[in-house]
Amino acid sequence: MMHRILILASGNGSLAQALIDAQELDIEIVAIISDQDDAHVLVRAQNAGIHTQVIKVGSSRENWNTEIINAVVALNPDLVVSAGFMRILPPEFVNRFPTINSHPALLPDFPGAHAVRDALTAGVSVTGTTVHWVDDGVDTGPIITQMQVPVLPNDDEVTLHERIKKVERGLIVATIALILPTLERNV
Assess whether 103 carries a catalytic annotation. Answer: yes
Assigned CATH topology for domain 3-182: Rossmann fold (3.40.50)
Contact in structure between 152 and 131 (CB atoms under 8 Å): no
Per-residue pLDDT in tens (0 to 9) along the chain, 187 residues: 689 999 999 999 999 999 999 999 999 999 999 999 999 999 999 999 999 999 999 889 999 999 999 999 999 999 999 999 989 999 999 999 999 999 999 999 999 999 999 999 999 999 999 999 999 899 999 999 999 999 999 999 999 999 999 999 999 999 999 999 998 776 6
Q: Where are the domains of the chain?
A: 3-182
Task: Please choose, from the candidates 123, 145, 121, 119, the residue with its C-alpha nearest in 3D space to the C-alpha of residue 132.
Answer: 145
pTM: 0.95
Distance CA 94, CA 98 (A): 7
The one-letter code for the residue type at 22 is A
- Per annotation, catalytic residue among 3, 40, 51, 103: 103
